[in-house]
Chains A and B, each alone.
Chain A
Amino acid sequence: MTRTSFLKRDEAVGLAILALIIFVVFPVMLDDFRLNLFGKYLTYAFVAIGLVLCWGAGGILSLGQGVFFGLGGYCMAMFLKLEASTPEATAIQSTPGIPDFMDWNQITALPVWWQPFDSFALTLAAILVVPAAFAFVIGFAMFRRRVSGVYFAIITQAIAAIVTILIIGQQGYTGGVNGITDLRTLMGWDIRPDGAKTALYFVNGVLLFVCLLVAMAIRKSKFGRVLVAMRDAEDRVRFSGYDVASFKIFIFCVGAMMASVGGAMFTLQVGFMSPTIVGIVPSIEMVIFCAVGGRHSLMGAVYGALLVNWAKTTFSESFPDLWLFGLGALFIAVVMAFPNGLAGLYDDYVKPRLPMRRTAPATQPQPAE
Chain B
Amino acid sequence: MFSDYSLSELGAIFAMQGFAGLILFSVFVLMALGLAIIFGQMGVINMAHGEFMILGAYVTYLVSNAFAAYMPALFGAYFFVAMVLAFCASGLLGMAVEWAIIRHLYKRPLDTLLATWGLSLMLQQAFRSLFGAREVGVTIPDWMMGSMAVTDMIEVPINGIFVMVLALGISAAIYVMMYRSGWGRQVRAVTQNRVMAGAVGINTERTDRMTFGIGCGVAGVAGAAFTMIGSTGPTSGQAYIVDTFLVVVFGGAASLLGTIASAFSISQAQSILEFFLSGSMAKVITLLVVVGILMLRPQGLFAMKLRK
List the interface of chain A (C-beta within 8 A of B).
55, 61, 141-142, 145-147, 149-151, 153-155, 157-159, 161-162, 165-166, 168-169, 280-281, 284, 287-288, 291, 321, 323-325, 327-332, 334-336, 339, 367-369
The reply to whether B111 and A367 form a contact with Cβ atoms under 8 Å apart is yes
With contact pairs A325-B125, A328-B121 given, residues A288 and B242 touching in the complex (Cβ less than 8 Å): no
- Measured between beta carbons, the chain A residues less than 8 angstroms from B113 are 61, 150, 153
Q: Closest CB of chain A to B263's CB: distance in Å? A: 15
Interface class of chain B by DSSP: helix
- Measured between beta carbons, the chain B residues less than 8 angstroms from A367 are 108, 111
Query: Which of A162, A287, A323 has the most chain B CB atoms inside 10 A of its CB?
Result: A162
Q: Which residue of B lies closest to A366 (CB)?
A: B108
11 contacts between A and B (CB under 8 A): A146-B298, A149-B110, A155-B249, A157-B245, A281-B238, A321-B129, A324-B124, A325-B126, A328-B122, A332-B119, A334-B114
With contact pairs A142-B295, A165-B283 given, residues A332 and B118 touching in the complex (Cβ less than 8 Å): yes
Add 9 more A-B contacts to A154-B45, A155-B249, A331-B119 (CB < 8 A): A55-B110, A141-B295, A150-B45, A150-B113, A165-B283, A321-B129, A324-B124, A327-B121, A328-B123
The reply to whether A327 and B295 form a contact with Cβ atoms under 8 Å apart is no
Contact of A324 among B108, B122, B290 (CB under 8 A): B122
The reply to whether A321 and B105 form a contact with Cβ atoms under 8 Å apart is no
The reply to whether A324 and B125 form a contact with Cβ atoms under 8 Å apart is yes
- Which 5 pairs from chain A and chain B are nearest by CB? A331-B118, A169-B280, A328-B122, A328-B121, A324-B125
Give the residues from 184 to 239 in chain B that come closer than 8 angstroms, CB to CB, to chain A: 238
**B101 CB within 8 Å of chain A:** yes
Tally of contacts, chain A with chain B, CB under 8 A: 125
**B115 CB within 8 Å of chain A:** yes
Contact of A332 among B101, B125, B291, B294 (CB under 8 A): B101
With contact pairs A145-B298, A336-B115 given, residues A331 and B121 touching in the complex (Cβ less than 8 Å): yes
- Measured between beta carbons, the chain B residues less than 8 angstroms from A159 are 291
The reply to whether A328 and B245 form a contact with Cβ atoms under 8 Å apart is no
Q: Report B10-27 CB contacts with A as 1/0, cut-off 8 Å.
A: 000000000000000000
Q: Which residue of A lies closest to B48 (CB)?
A: A328
The reply to whether A288 and B284 form a contact with Cβ atoms under 8 Å apart is no
- Measured between beta carbons, the chain A residues less than 8 angstroms from B288 are 162
Q: Which residue of A lies closest to B109 (CB)?
A: A150
With contact pairs A158-B246, A165-B284, A280-B242 given, residues A335 and B111 touching in the complex (Cβ less than 8 Å): yes
Q: Which residue of B lies closest to A169 (CB)?
A: B280
**B278 CB within 8 Å of chain A:** yes
Q: How far is the CA of A168 from the CA of B295 in the complex (A)?
A: 25
**B305 CB within 8 Å of chain A:** no
Q: Which residue of A lies closest to B110 (CB)?
A: A61
Q: How far is the CA of A368 from the CA of B113 in the complex (A)?
A: 13
Q: How far is the CA of A349 from the CA of B114 in the complex (A)?
A: 25
**B120 CB within 8 Å of chain A:** yes
**B93 CB within 8 Å of chain A:** no
Q: Which residue of B lies closest to A142 (CB)?
A: B295
With contact pairs A150-B109, A324-B125 given, residues A332 and B295 touching in the complex (Cβ less than 8 Å): no
With contact pairs A169-B278, A169-B281, A324-B124 given, residues A369 and B109 touching in the complex (Cβ less than 8 Å): yes
Q: Which residue of B lies closest to A140 (CB)?
A: B295
Q: How far is the CA of A55 from the CA of B112 in the complex (A)?
A: 15
Q: Closest CB of chain A to B129's CB: distance in Å? A: 6
With contact pairs A158-B242, A169-B281 given, residues A329 and B295 touching in the complex (Cβ less than 8 Å): no
- Range of interface residues on B (Cβ < 8 Å): 35 or more
Q: Closest CB of chain B to A54's CB: distance in Å? A: 12
The reply to whether A329 and B118 form a contact with Cβ atoms under 8 Å apart is yes
Contact of A150 among B104, B110, B283, B287 (CB under 8 A): B110
- Measured between beta carbons, the chain B residues less than 8 angstroms from A158 are 242, 245-246, 287, 290-291
**B302 CB within 8 Å of chain A:** no
Q: Closest CB of chain B to A308's CB: distance in Å? A: 12
- Measured between beta carbons, the chain B residues less than 8 angstroms from A141 are 295-296
- Measured between beta carbons, the chain B residues less than 8 angstroms from A150 are 43, 45, 109-110, 113
Q: How far is the CA of A334 from the CA of B113 in the complex (A)?
A: 12
**B67 CB within 8 Å of chain A:** no
Q: Closest CB of chain B to A150's CB: distance in Å? A: 5
The reply to whether A157 and B284 form a contact with Cβ atoms under 8 Å apart is no
**B117 CB within 8 Å of chain A:** yes
- Measured between beta carbons, the chain B residues less than 8 angstroms from A284 are 114, 117
With contact pairs A161-B242, A162-B287 given, residues A328 and B118 touching in the complex (Cβ less than 8 Å): yes
- Measured between beta carbons, the chain B residues less than 8 angstroms from A281 are 238
- Measured between beta carbons, the chain B residues less than 8 angstroms from A288 are 114
Q: How far is the CA of A332 from the CA of B124 in the complex (A)?
A: 15
The reply to whether A321 and B110 form a contact with Cβ atoms under 8 Å apart is no
Contact of B125 among A165, A166, A321, A336 (CB under 8 A): A321
- Measured between beta carbons, the chain A residues less than 8 angstroms from B245 are 154, 157-158
Q: How far is the CA of A42 from the CA of B43 in the complex (A)?
A: 35
- Measured between beta carbons, the chain B residues less than 8 angstroms from A321 are 125, 128-129
Q: How far is the CA of A162 from the CA of B282 in the complex (A)?
A: 11
Q: Closest CB of chain A to B174's CB: distance in Å? A: 22
Q: How far is the CA of A135 from the CA of B199 in the complex (A)?
A: 45
- Measured between beta carbons, the chain B residues less than 8 angstroms from A291 are 114
Q: How far is the CA of A115 from the CA of B249 in the complex (A)?
A: 39
The reply to whether A155 and B291 form a contact with Cβ atoms under 8 Å apart is yes
Q: How far is the CA of A334 from the CA of B108 in the complex (A)?
A: 13
- Measured between beta carbons, the chain B residues less than 8 angstroms from A324 are 121-122, 124-125, 128
